[in-house]
Amino acid sequence: LQANKDNALRQASVSAGKVIILRNITEFKERDEAKSNFIATISHELKTPMSSIKMSLQLLNDERIGALNPEQQGLVSNIKSDCDRLLRISSELLDLSQVETGNLKLNISAIDPLKILDYAIDTVKFQAEQKEVKLEVQAATGLPQVHADTDKTAWVLVNLLSNALRYSHEKSRIIISVKAEASKLIFSVRDFGKGIDEQYQKRLFERYFRIPADGSSKSGTGLGLAISKEFIEAQNGQIWVESAIGEGSSFSFALPVG
C-alpha cells in the first residue's frame, strides 16, 4: 500500500512539475512576444521624427537659408550621420522583431538575379566612390530566375556590400558574383579587406555579435548578418562566410531557382 502511495505521489509531483514547466514556457513566450511587439512599436514610432530631423538638416544645407560656416557644416554633418545610424538601428530592430514574432511576411516570386544585383550596386555606389573602391560584377549570361522575395534579398545584398565596403582598404576592389549551381543561384560578395579570424567566423551570424576590438565596427549594430541569415533561411536558402586574415572575406548565399 505504501509503495502504491509513494508511486502515486511521485506521479502527481511529476505531472505538477510538467504543468509548472509548461506554464513557465507559456509565460516566457508571452513575455518574449510582448517584448518584440514593444520593440516593433518603438522602432516604428521613432522613424517618423528621425526622418523629419534628417529632412530639416538637409534644409539647413540649402543656400536660400543662408550659408553655414565650415564649423557649423561639420556639426550638421555629425548630427546627420548619427541620425542615419539611429534610423538604421531602428529599422534593423523592426526587422528583427518581425522575425521573432513570426510576422515576417515574404513576397516570393520568380525574379531576375541581375536586377537585384543592379539595385544593390546602385544603392552603395556613392559609398564605394568615396573610398575609391571598384565594384566588379561577375555574372554568366542566361542565368535562371530565382524564387525569392525581391526586397529581402536586395536588403541582404546591400548589407553584405556595405560591410565589404566598410572593411575594404581604400582604392581596393569588391567582386559581386552570381552563378547557377544545381537547383540554386549563389550570390557572393568578395572583399580584399583585413579578413576574419576563424574563431569568429561561426559567431558572425549571431545577434549583436561584433568582432572584439574591431575599430571599424564602432558604427555597426551587430544585427546585419543575423537579420540576413533570418531573411535567407526564411526563403529556404543558406548563407555562409569564407575568410582568411590578410586576404579578405567572401560572404555568399544560395537561393532556390524559381
Q: Is 156 exposed, middle or buried (0-12, 13-18, 19+ CB in 10 A)?
A: buried
**CA-derived radius of gyration, the chain:** 24
Is residue 193 a contact residue for ligand ADP (CB under 6 A)?
A: yes
Q: State the first-to-last Cα distance of the chain, in angstroms, to the nearest integer.
A: 68
Is residue 221 a contact residue for ligand ADP (CB under 6 A)?
A: yes
Task: Determine which residue in the list 90, 93, 120, 220 makes contact with ligand ADP, applying CB under 6 A.
Answer: 220
CB 36, CB 97: distance < 8 Å: yes
The CB-nearest residue to ligand ADP is: 220
Is residue 214 a contact residue for ligand ADP (CB under 6 A)?
A: yes
Give, as ranges, the residues between 91 and 150 that touch ligand ADP (CB under 6 A).
Answer: none
Task: Determine which residue in the list 124, 225, 239, 257 makes contact with ligand ADP, applying CB under 6 A.
Answer: 225
Binding mask 143-182 for ligand ADP (x = CB under 6 A): --------------------xx--x---------------
Is residue 192 a contact residue for ligand ADP (CB under 6 A)?
A: no
Closer by beta carbon to ligand ADP, 54 or else 207:
207
Is residue 201 a contact residue for ligand ADP (CB under 6 A)?
A: no
Which span (11-19, 50-58, 125-133, 189-197) binds ligand ADP, by CB under 6 A? 189-197
Contact footprint for ligand ADP (CB under 6 A) = 163-164, 167, 191, 193, 196, 204, 209-211, 214, 217, 220-226, 249
